[in-house]
Amino acid sequence: MTKPHIFVVIPVHDRWAFTHTCLSGLFGDSTAPPATVIVVDDGSIDGTSRAIAEQFPNVKVLSGDGTLWWTGAMNVGVGWALAEAAPHDVVLSLNNDTLPPPRYLERLLLAYAAAPRALIGSLQVSVTDRATVVDGGVSVDWMTAKYRTAGRGASMAKGVPAGPDLRRTDVLGGCGTLIPVSAFREIGPYWEQGLRHYAADYELSRRAMRAGFDLFVDWASPLYVREAETGIHASVASGRLAVLLRSFWDIRSANDLRVRWRFAAAACPRWALPSYILWDYARVVVGSVRRYRSR
């Protein structure tokens, strides 16, 4: 098997300090195989593009006007990569609020060599102690819309396996997922029209699975993550009723009921769709209201 080239795609909007840490991790690894790093700067006003040009001149910066959101930014980066990539190459979707440890890219390529027709996610580990598992893969009960995260809270203090440790998952997020170029060419890009910010990563992985690609998380490829650095969540941190209500139709919110419907319609097995929608909406609305009232 010809050794693949990695195209790392990182969508960003401000938060230069996080982007700096992420890029420093990638370029500070002396064991890393050759890779092309693409940062899609979607309208940052904190000088991100200028700082990258000065401190990481080898990074390819593509610019947006602030309206791409996560999905559009990823499609811009992936589109650029596909124009340059060979059939056997791979794309790594990566968030800027991560810290890739030494041997990260090398380990992912070892996993890919063991499963060349697969999308391979990283074991997400807390950046705080670099030992506590945040996400080791997700199993979905499509009848009850119940998501279970493997390994959450487990300790990796004794180290990671020496070789690939591939464990099946029902969906894969966009934080540290290696995707064959062949998958994009077979199934198309992220669904930008329907899922502009949340759930496009999960939907793409389900689409790939239906096309015959396996979905794995490699427990030998840890990626340090900042778990709290996301958008508006069901916890509604401010405790304000207006924020709670807005979260049900806000593009920045994982609670957005329109997004949850579109994802379900695209990813859920048809036989489970009515039950999934009922339970998913109930979990989001009732759960959010309960947390709001408990404040």
pLDDT at position 289 is 72
pLDDT of residue 81: 98
Confidence of residue 234 (pLDDT cuts 50, 70, 90): very low
Which pLDDT value is given to residue 262? 96
Contacts of 241 (CB under 8 A, 6+ apart): 292
Predicted confidence (pLDDT) at residue 233 exceeds the cutoff of 60 = no
* DSSP string for 172-241: --SSSEEEEHHHHHHH-S--TTT-SSSSHHHHHHHHHHHTT-EEEEEEEEEEEE-TT-SSB-TT-TT--H
Whether pLDDT at 267 is above 60: yes
Rounded to 5, what percent of the chain is helix, strand, coil? 35, 25, 40
Region 61-86: mean pLDDT is 96
DSSP-derived letter for residue 155 is B
Mean pLDDT calculated for residue range 254-258: 88
Where does residue 69 rank: exposed (0-12), middle (13-18), buried (19+ CB within 10 A)?
Answer: buried
Band of pLDDT at residue 161, cut at 50, 70 and 90: confident
pLDDT of residue 293: 64
pLDDT above 70 as % of the chain: 93
Confidence band (pLDDT; 50, 70, 90) for 254? confident
pLDDT of residue 241: 67
Q: What's the confidence (pLDDT) of residue 291?
A: 65
> Which pLDDT score is estimated for 231?
46
234 against 33, higher pLDDT: 33
H helix and E strand count, the chain: 9, 12
Tell the residue number behind the tokens 């048809």, with chain if given. 270
Q: Does domain 6-225 have CATH number 3.90.550.60?
A: yes
For 102-143, how does the pLDDT look when each residue is reduced to its tens digit (9 = 90+)? 999 999 999 999 999 999 999 999 999 999 999 999 999 999
Question: For the segment 78-106, what is each residue's pLDDT rounded down to a tens digit?
Answer: 999 999 999 999 999 999 999 999 999 99
Stated as kind and residue range, the H or E segment containing 277 is helix 273-293
Global confidence as pTM? 0.92
pLDDT at 54 over 70: yes
Sorting pLDDT into bands at 50, 70 and 90, what band is 242? Answer: confident
* 62 residue type, one letter: L
- Band the pLDDT of 239: cuts 50, 70, 90: low
Contact in structure between 35 and 5 (CB atoms under 8 Å): yes
- How far apart are alpha carbons 71 and 246 in whole angstroms? 21
Q: pLDDT value at position 235?
A: 47
* Average confidence (pLDDT) over 180-188: 98
Per-residue confidence band for 1, with pLDDT thresholds at 50, 70 and 90: low
- CA–CA gap between residue 227 and residue 221 (Å, rounded): 17
Asked whether residue 76 carries a pLDDT value surpassing 80, the answer given is yes
**Residue intervals in the chain for CATH 3.90.550.60:** 6-225
**What is d(CA 249, CA 96) in angstroms, rounded to the nearest whole number?**
25
